[in-house]
Amino acid sequence: MFDVITFGSATRDVYLKFRKPFLDLKENVKAKNIPFLGNVCFILGSKVDVEDVFFTFGGGGTNSAVTFAKQGFKTAFCGAVGDDIRGKIIVDELKKYKIDTKFIVKKKGMKSGYSVVLGEQTDRIILAYRGASKYLDIKDVNVGKMRAKWFYLAPLSGCSCGFARKIFDYAIKKGIKVAINPSKDLINKYKKWIIRVSSKIDVLILNKEELCFLLGKSFVINDLEIKKYIDEIKITPKILIVTKGEEGASVFLRDKILTARALKVKIVDKTGAGDAFGSGFVSGLLKGLDIKESLQLATANSAGCITKVGAHEGTLLANSSYKKVKVKEINI
């Protein structure tokens, strides 16, 4: 039996580091009298120097799997890759972390997902090609052999949204605990379903944008307002987590809210921070930690992630410290 099986996307990632920061590139655009609307612009036909290139693998499902493996858990990953060299590289890289790959589906005639990450630190753009990851089908997976304490559903999109529903139903039937970090695509297609089954979800993880999308709100002001709205539409998972970037994250329970601010670290690359947080929190529960300690571990794991280039390279090992994270508790 596995401690955890993760589900989600798998991609080959390339990071491009520029000689000049994005702000300089923006100034170049302005200097040539080209309208600038707050986006990064490149002049058509130009050649932009790149200082360095870094290859790794990413995707919500694989990023989460790496955290669980580094925390010492017996981990498997389930997702779809193409029948190509990128797919082989992704599988080989997962094996280096001792992540079981027998549930990976190889889609014939399809290409594996690929992401190009432009920029550095807080300024970045991700050009994402989902590829085979969008076409994970329950018929392609030997579900009967999936025995685990936890299923961790990272964001899935496209046709894979239907897979998420079916694998959730299987987990509930088999008494497997479930953590879900739904994509906006899944929320858009199955919002009513998420609300209806929320009481059966052990951990529901949303960033602020995803939360607003689920609530049907343009923005939320604070945690008490969030609690009011989730109670109104009856979102009732055992644990609800809302991540807020540099503001940290909050855990909503029946009778209290726990909040931890993000640790101040030197930011190198924010890619994968959300995956590191969610999988870090569930790792705490797997270790038998209480909610407060799990929040501390999640916060520290996310902070570690952003100190290195790549979506999982900086995530913590099992013996890493996390107790310095301060947690505020509000009874409601």
Question: Helix (H, G, I), strand (E, B), or coil: what is residue 7?
Answer: strand
Res. 28: pLDDT tops 60: no
Give percent of the chain above pLDDT 70.
Answer: 92
> pLDDT tens-digit profile of 142-154?
999 999 999 999 9
Whole-model pTM: value is 0.92
**Closest Cα partner for 279 from 308, 311, 302, 252?**
302
Q: Are 79 and 58 in contact (CB under 8 A)?
A: no
Give dist(CA 310, CA 306) in Å, integer: 8
37 pLDDT higher than 50: no
Chain center to CA of 88: 22
C-alpha distances (whole Å) from 117 to each of 120, 260, 309 are 9, 28, 10
Which pLDDT tens digit goes with each residue over 252-266? 999 999 999 999 999
Separation between Cα atoms, residue 319 and residue 322, nearest integer Å: 9
Question: What was the pLDDT predicted at 18?
Answer: 74
Q: How do strand 11-18 and strand 113-120 relate by DSSP bridges?
A: parallel
Output the pLDDT for position 153.
98
pLDDT of res. 53:
92
Q: Take residue 43 and report the two structure tokens written for it.
A: 């002049």
